[in-house]
A and B are shown apart, each in its own frame.
Chain A
Amino acid sequence: MKTFLCAGFFFLVVSASFAQKTFPVNGVADERSDTYFFTNATIVKDAGTTLNNASLLVQKGKIIAVGNSITTPKNAISIDCKGKYITPSFIDIYSDYGITPPQRSGVPFSYSAPAQFDSDTKGAFGWNQAIRSETEAVKIFKTDKEKAELFRNIGFGTTLTHQKDGIARGTGVVVTLADARENLVIVKERASAHYSFSKGTSTQSYPGSLMGSIALLRQNYIDAAWYKNNPAAEGVNLSLKAWNENQSLPQIFEANDKWGDVRADRIGDEFGVQYIIKGGGNEYQRINEIKATKAAFILPVNYPQAMDVEDPNDARYVSLNDLKHWELAPANPAVFEKAGIPFCLTPADLTDPKQFLVNIRKAIQNGLSESKALEALTQTPATLLSVYDQVGSLEPGKLANFLISSGPVFKDKTIIYQNWVQGQQYNVANEEWNEIKGVYQVSIRTAGNSSLSFPLEVQSASSARITDKDTLQTKFSFNGKTLSLSFAPGKHSTSVIRLSGIVSGGQWSGNGEDTTGARVMWSAAFVKALPSKTARDSGNTILPSAKITYPFGSYGWDALPQPQALLFKNATVWTSDAAGKLENTDVLIKDGKIAQVGKNLLDAKATVIDATGKHITAGIIDEHSHIATASINEGAQSVTSEVRIADNLNPDDINIYRQLSGGVTSSHILHGSANTIGGQTQLIKLRWGADDEGLKFKNWDPFIKFALGENVKRTTAAANNRFPDTRMGVEEVLMDAFQRATDYEKAIKRAEAGSKGKKGSAVSPWNTVRRDLELDALVEIMNKKRFITCHSYVQSEITYTMRVAEKFGFRVNTFTHILEGYKVADKMKEHGANVSTFSDWFGYKMEVADAIAYNAAIMQRMGLNVCINSDDAEMARRLNQEAAKVIKYGGVTEEQALNMVTINPAKALHIDDRTGSIKVGKDADLVLWSDHPLSIYAQAEKTMVDGIVYFDRQRDLQLRKAIAAERNRLIQKMVSEKKSGNAVAPFKASNYETLSCDEHE
């Protein structure tokens, strides 16, 4: 048996042992058994099992045996791993290794550019370019030596790679990171199917929003199920075919954000799919919601970098949210571990993959256990992909993928020497394999046989110093075998002695030149070990102190608030009800409801609030709002009734809090006005701190947004090619949509009747009829199960929309904006519509040329139910003032004016049985005002939703101080990061956006 010190060997041609029978060889056959025997190692078989002083036998790329008592095989190359650790190589479950990132052709999206209605993909594929379920990574994968080395160097041996492009991305392939031909590195051909919200390189206009992406995914699940019966009408659709074939694989969804994760999971729930979710790193902010998904997670470790925030005028634009996230992001994996949620870790999303282990160690400092970290990089991904029989631990029969390191793999100073993949050695820091650290005595002999001698302290393969009388400037490098050393022989010497040599069996020797250029010979011998330094105390790390609040940014709650029993004494109570305005009146709220309204009320348990001189009104209801949502418009088509605002609520929007400060308690969140039939709306209550489900107004009649006029005919887009381009066309879009919906409903009924006839019981109609989410919503409208709020301005379009509705047997529930409503008030009254308008908007586009501030008052006098809405995140916090303008313009009474933002919108939204007025038994959605509620001088002192005080002006003042203090603490911490010499990113302002009606993604 020959014992080699493995360190000196570099395998230049590794593919030789992976001979493939079908591939001709150019040269001479070179079959090898590649049998290696690693001895005396600490072997971490898996996250839970560590063997001391154990051996590992590998042959032809696989593990043959692992344990403490393996007989040494004769044909093996034996490698002594004394003091070293062997750990399974990591598995990256989220890479695009070996797959060329796709490039987007054409120009970036522009709202004013012509739309692209059809897919650019060649072949018999589906209608949408972003659905690429036919993509198979195994067919486009190509081994990439540079990338493979990069990832091996951070510990990876196996990766799941897929093409990160599109909403449905096709399948992923599990490959090893060996430098071998594609055929030989594949672990599993079709290992996963991938999805995201991002349409990637698709140039097609649809979908143009997050909610459009979600609708497209939902429709695809339906279409694919329908396609299983090979409907003749569809012909061949390879995208749907592949979609169906991919369903049996693990389904991986790239959601990239805590709320995105929840949204993705909800799509899965609807179609019986449990996604594995690729998160965004901010999940710790809502871990309960994350846990409720029951998903396994893939977590990136691309923590935000500290920024240069020394300039206070810059720092002002970094949000508390981002500052806190900077501090807390490394704790994300630990929070998952604590919550018992299965997860993998991935270097995906890191700009510099070399940061991976550094960041894993940060996660460990922040509470992640080392064994969990290893599990998240081995067993968990392997199990999720059903390849644990091949990779992920050190067991006989599995691939010989393992790391040899100087210590436990995640410890701070641990060096990974080698990363073996499929039984082949790849060096990571092989030069460190042999302990070179120590004190040596260097002897130099000149030609004249005079000799010099210096002590040399070697710290590592790249660092050493001569310590004679002084410490001398020394350059040292050792590559595992040869070394070079140069130094100035005296403190003031400007010339250097340059030496080169080899290390052989502990002996150093070689040649060189002295300061005069004369040749010298030299040698060195080990004297003693380096004096041991006290290990750096890792317990010194200052753990983050930022708090998780709800929402996570500024003005959040430490814990969600609870309903209180409150007794307001002696207020002026504006009931917005038959009772009218009541002076010197008490209001008692209990268990979220209005319990009593009257004089001299008593309640032993309630907190009494003196409201003398103050006013109480019902909470303001905004009929037309665009806050608290991630996208507003799906404008790629003229009919998008399939999209739903509910799919992309954003509970973190600071405008929720700001509007509470203006007395708003409920908001109707509408799709924008980019198209004639927009998306389904969502009524919310402003429960600041709740999640998206918590925001929703429960058991309401669902609504949908329609729009008419300039926006939907794209007046400002010079190159519009989307039908319609005129009001004439808008009317036909409506006619066509409802005609199609009528025919669709008939077809469903026929299908149901037909199946009943044959089998005697109802069968799903969806075998014969393609279920269409767009038409479903329109059928609901016709069946009075869904109600329209219609953005409209001029009298012609208002009238024709009513006529179309009447033709199809339903009514337009609400005309919103309706600035020419006064011209057709009689017609709308007869039709039975509610109206919701601006108090005084005018003069911003042609279709408001006849807008008048007297509109609301005329409509009111004509007997219509009139609301005043905002459509504007700022104005929404002054809706009481907007209502007051109707007194100025048109002379309605104060109570009538207030009703326009309380009970009237409640009626228009069919929720007047629960909110909108002050009446015993209704939801305690109330505002305590400092002054007359229609006065510009009035401020909301407390705003309550369901009896919970969500806004309190006194608390707000305290929060401001707390926000300022916490911002300062974090900014100081970032600045000290820079001062301590750590790399900081250049300053960049935090994203902060308030969406409006004509917003496009």
Chain B
Amino acid sequence: MKKLHTNQIRLVVLTILVLSLVTCFPVYAGKSITIKGSDTMLILGQRWAEVYMNQNPGVVIQVTGGGSGVGIAALINGGTEICQASRPMKSSEVDKLKERFNSTGIEIPVARDGLSLYLNEENKISELTLDQLKGIYTGQITNWKEVGGDDAKIVLYGRENSSGTYVYFKDNVLKGADFSAQTQTLPGTGAIVNAISKDKDGIGYGGAAYAKGVKYCKVKKDAQTPGYEPTLENVKSGNYPISRYLFWYLRNKPTGGTKKLVDWVLSEQGQQIVNKVGYFPVK
């Protein structure tokens, strides 16, 4: 008799468990918005999605990476609603989109990304042109005196080739050329900044970071233009030459839930998240 009793209790508990699991499911059955694309923007997209979903229960946002090209391809195939891209769409991609959906797509800049260059505080150099940077990182310029500094060998620091920053620097500063084999690669911007704080002939690049003994190198577009530091104003105004827009692409003008999401991303709160993740807001 006693045994039966415990079995009954077990049965009841199990039933409650199963029922509660089943009733949980409808919560996840709401309409979901898919976002796909750039790996650089993956964390940014996820952060946006987390906060937005918290504020709007019932909305489900799925964010996946794969790369800007993959995201744009998914936009063209209809595999995603929103595409995140760290580069503008190529004309060939716009043509394909037009062919399938009779639309040139909607381009929405959602954030700006700027790359900083660091020098040791004791370095005489305070500004470099893009061409000089290319020369330094491809190994054509190896001594600081070639760019107006002391007679000392330049010690190159950079990011690992698995990093998006590596690719960005390679594409935009080196114009696709290969890095010099002398480039010492360190894990993370923090390690690079630390190394440069100890190395008076060092130069490195990475995201925004501060450290004792390190200064930002001003970057000039060419020899005539003035040099700019990677500050919020300079990146926003477009004066700082190593910066890019990060985009959201849509097939058509956003409506309904998607429009609400886009508006929120461009709102003050959405742009604050951009700042927190380490990029610069567009507004």
> A and B: partners?
no
Chain A residues with CB under 8 Å of chain B are none
